[in-house]
Structure 1
Amino acid sequence: MSPRLMIPAKDLTPRHHPRSAMAGKIAAIVIVTLALYFIPPPEGVDPRGMHMAAIFVGTILGLILQPLPTASVAIIGLAIAMITGTMTAKEEALQGFGNSTIWLIVAAFFIADGFLLTGLGKRIALMFVRILGKSSLGLSYGMAITDLILAPATPSNTARAGGVVYPIIKSLATVNGSEPTSDESRKRLGSYLSLTSVQVNTITSAMFVTAMAGNPLAVKFAAENGANITWGGWALAALVPGLAALIVMPWAMSKIYPPTLKKTPDAPAQASAQLKEMGPMSRGEWVMLATFILLLALWVLGSTIGVDATSAAFLGIAVLLVFKVLTWKDMAANAGAWSTLIFFSVLVGMATHLNDLGVIGWIGDSAAKAVGGFSWPIALLILVLVYFYVHYFFASNTAQIVAMYSVFLGTAVAAGAPAMLAALILGFAGNLIGGLTHYASGPAGVIYGSGYVTTGEWFRVGFIASVVNLLVWAVVGLPWMMLIL
């Protein structure tokens, strides 16, 4: 037989297809960016506004299509913004790198490293497996309970999700043979637990004024529009829809984004055996545990004693370095942390600049004008949906609350909506938006950086989960709020 005929069919496949696919992605990004770039700016928008919007949308499209790695796409977008004069290098382009929340996200990766390197994360994970480990769904509910317990006293949802829940999830995934090294491995368990934890975090953040940094701002803006929301009033209004959403979301995610490892009937017994094999806690574990308790105390009491969440996180890292639980070599090798720093800082800087140039305000004003002739229930529905999905243009819950909450609430009240009802609904929405994209919030940035969820998966699952969340809060929450208000 001729050697030529013995060549496997796959070797005869044309090799230009990957390059063609890459060229197609790049062409799509360039066409969309240029189309938006040359749209004349609307009245009230800085001339650079549409340029910034075009580059931002092009960067997001690049993150979705992934012609290059995430951090590379972000740097290219930033370079284009600077070279075109859309962003000045000194004052605008690099402003995101000074954002304290982003550094808190980065710190969360290093804290998670401490849990893994000492073995404390594995020990905690095995304890969860022993109690709830008969199924992946049980583990997910365990994480949801953990988040809910911490939520009222942890104003930083990033600290809660990244510093407390994520290290446990990472350890649970590792113990069950799920690593972000391949699709088969990550989808075994880690992807499901990771993405579900973000969606759960949006719910717990919405349940208490003190569960997310932007909520007190929403309360302040609501008071300016005639709605005086107390801590207890917010919590009571969110209690029933919040608990309903926490019951539904892990189950819904198991259908939307199912893990391949569903049943683990032998896991509790195996976990008990592994815990026995690990023996007593090591010095490193005790140091990590003490540091973790210190961090939790500072995160809970931070607003009282004047220590912000990022400062506390860096103190924790400093303690771990002093006691050699972590080394600089460990930190330098954490590619996920540094990649997250790059892409998140770029997107936060771009989103902030969009607001400064008047683009976000224009979107809000346009929405307000669009609902002028509707009855207040329809107007409120339209405003909530626009407020929710405009978050694709934001890289922070708090940033959107600052930019748009008052505008949308004022418009809803002007349309005839009860001020308290509108204020609470928009307040809850300002938290539930945090799982839409991989850059939508601090917790999302942590989980995306872990490598367990791809960009395409995030946009698809994030949108579906947002619909589930909105339906639960509408079907359960609206009757409840109408009853108590």
Structure 2
Amino acid sequence: AMFITATAPNPLVVKLLADATGAQVSLSWSTWALAMLLPGLVAIALMPLVLYFIYPPEIRKTENARTFALSRLQELGPVKRDEKILLGVFLFLLVMWAGIPAMLFGNAYSINATTTAACGLALLLLTGVLHWDDILSEKSAWDTVVWFSALVMMATFLNKLGLIAWFSASLQGGIESLGMNWLAAATLLTLVYLYAHYFFASTTAHITAMFAAFYTAGIALGAPPMGFGLVMAAVSSIMMTLTHYATGTSPIIFGSGYVSLGQWWKAGFVMSVVNVLVWVVVGGIWWSVLGHI
């Protein structure tokens, strides 16, 4: 949430904010970074403390960590051929995923992220760094492909079939009928937008489907465009911690097997509450100082 360039959907959020307000709310890289700086730093400081309290670590002292690390490095020896190739492929993937060819030579050289990943895998197979049996043995990866793709498809069709648009319109109508003030209405819209991510397996799909509708509804109900926009922008990143399928990297991390499903969901929900409070309270004060509210 701290930088526009931190995750792929953030530039989309900037565009949706500008489109909804006729460019009255136009966030530059520096404006976004300064607005998110203080709440972001507070959230970074609180996250390990909260998680330490929820799930105390089994190992709390590592007095010989340096000695152990050095001994393991000595056992590994000098960098091998396969490791050099792997490093080169990794750097190649970073360059392609960052869209540097498109930046330098135009959109005609933009390469899909999935295509880039396939190229990286092909290079590792062709150079002998990996063998096909290595690919087949990655059971957690194949498991992720199956269930994650199904979740992405279902989330996509929720939008295509009009369910999200209907839900957004119904929610706005319900709030208007209750006669809520703009603060209560904006709070409700933000929370519904955040926790609706339990039904999405892609932040980009979620933002595309719901951001504009909820933001426009909040503005129509009297919320300040800049302040509400910053909250919605932050929440669009906060929701990535909720579930083990919340964003593309989540299944990969979950597949490592370090935490159970229940542990992830509990920590994700608790951190979502903490992060929302940080961005609303600390962020609200900070944005008032900056003149955004």
TM-score higher than 0.5: yes
Paired position in structure 1 for 2:161:
357
Paired position in structure 1 for 2:106:
none
Matches within 5 A, 1:372-383: 372=176, 373-383=179-189
How many pairs were matched up? 280
Matches within 5 A, 1:224-239: 224-226=19-21, 227-239=25-37
Work out the CA distance in 2 between the residues paired with 1:472 and 1:292: 35
Partner amino acid, structure 2, of 1:365: A
Work out the CA distance in 2 between the residues paired with 1:255 and 1:268: 26
| Residue in structure 1 matching 2:8, options 213, 221, 224 | 213
RMSD: 1.6
Partner amino acid, structure 2, of 1:349: M
Paired position in structure 2 for 1:172:
none
Partner amino acid, structure 2, of 1:209: I
Residue deviations 1:112-154 (CA, integer Å, cap 9, x gap): xxxxxxxxxxxxxxxxxxxxxxxxxxxxxxxxxxxxxxxxxxx
Matches within 5 A, 1:133-148: none
Matches within 5 A, 1:197-212: 206-212=1-7
Closer/same/farther in 2, CA of residues 360 and 475 from structure 1, 3 Å limit: same
Work out the CA distance in 2 between the residues paired with 1:441 and 1:218: 16
Q: Which blocks of at least 5 consecutive residues in structure 2 are unaligned?
A: 104-108
Partner amino acid, structure 1, of 2:189: L
Within the alignment, does 1:369 sit opposite 2:173 as a pair? yes
- Residue 437 of structure 1: SS of its match in structure 2? coil
**Contact 1:437–1:459, Cα closer than 8 Å, also in 2:** yes
Paired position in structure 1 for 2:279:
473
Partner amino acid, structure 2, of 1:225: A
TM-score by length of 2: 0.90
**Contact 1:225–1:419, Cα closer than 8 Å, also in 2:** no
Paired position in structure 1 for 2:208:
402
Work out the CA distance in 2 between the residues paired with 1:458 and 1:234: 29
Paired position in structure 2 for 1:425:
231
Work out the CA distance in 2 between the residues paired with 1:358 and 1:451: 37
Paired position in structure 1 for 2:125:
321
Work out the CA distance in 1 between the residues paired with 2:195 and 2:170: 14
Runs of 4+ that moved beyond 6 A: none
Matches within 5 A, 1:123-134: none
Partner amino acid, structure 1, of 2:13: A
Greater Cα offset, 349-358 or 330-339: 349-358
Work out the CA distance in 1 between the residues paired with 2:215 and 2:71: 56
Paired position in structure 2 for 1:333:
137
Residue deviations 1:220-253 (CA, integer Å, cap 9, x gap): 1111222222222111111111122112112221
Paired position in structure 2 for 1:255:
53
**Contact 2:231–2:280, Cα closer than 8 Å, also in 1:** no
Work out the CA distance in 2 between the residues paired with 1:381 and 1:311: 40
**Contact 2:231–2:279, Cα closer than 8 Å, also in 1:** no
Closer/same/farther in 2, CA of residues 309 and 250 from structure 1, 3 Å limit: farther
**Contact 1:302–1:308, Cα closer than 8 Å, also in 2:** no
- Residue 345 of structure 1: SS of its match in structure 2? helix
- Residue 217 of structure 1: SS of its match in structure 2? helix
Within the alignment, does 1:222 sit opposite 2:17 as a pair? yes
**Contact 1:391–1:400, Cα closer than 8 Å, also in 2:** yes
- Residue 442 of structure 1: SS of its match in structure 2? coil
**Contact 1:209–1:234, Cα closer than 8 Å, also in 2:** yes
Work out the CA distance in 2 between the residues paired with 1:321 and 1:363: 47
Work out the CA distance in 1 between the residues paired with 2:282 and 2:112: 35
Tell me the percent identity.
Answer: 44
Work out the CA distance in 2 between the residues paired with 1:385 and 1:433: 10
1:324 Cα deviation (Å)? 0.7
Work out the CA distance in 2 between the residues paired with 1:307 and 1:239: 32
Residue deviations 1:148-189 (CA, integer Å, cap 9, x gap): xxxxxxxxxxxxxxxxxxxxxxxxxxxxxxxxxxxxxxxxxx
Work out the CA distance in 1 between the residues paired with 2:175 and 2:46: 32
Paired position in structure 2 for 1:98:
none
Greater Cα offset, 338-347 or 239-248: 239-248
Rg larger for: 1
Paired position in structure 2 for 1:184:
none
**Contact 1:380–1:422, Cα closer than 8 Å, also in 2:** yes
Within the alignment, does 1:447 sit opposite 2:227 as a pair? no
Within the alignment, does 1:266 sit opposite 2:64 as a pair? yes
Work out the CA distance in 1 between the residues paired with 2:91 and 2:75: 25
Work out the CA distance in 1 between the residues paired with 2:279 and 2:244: 22
Partner amino acid, structure 2, of 1:454: S
1:456 Cα deviation (Å)? 2.0
Work out the CA distance in 1 between the residues paired with 2:32 and 2:101: 21
Partner amino acid, structure 1, of 2:29: W
Work out the CA distance in 1 between the residues paired with 2:197 and 2:90: 32
1:302 Cα deviation (Å)? 5.3
Within the alignment, does 1:298 sit opposite 2:96 as a pair? yes
1:357 Cα deviation (Å)? 2.0
1:312 Cα deviation (Å)? 2.3
Partner amino acid, structure 1, of 2:64: D
Paired position in structure 2 for 1:73:
none
1:325 Cα deviation (Å)? 0.7
**Contact 2:5–2:11, Cα closer than 8 Å, also in 1:** yes
TM-score by length of 1: 0.56
Within the alignment, does 1:385 sit opposite 2:191 as a pair? yes
Work out the CA distance in 2 between the residues paired with 1:356 and 1:307: 25
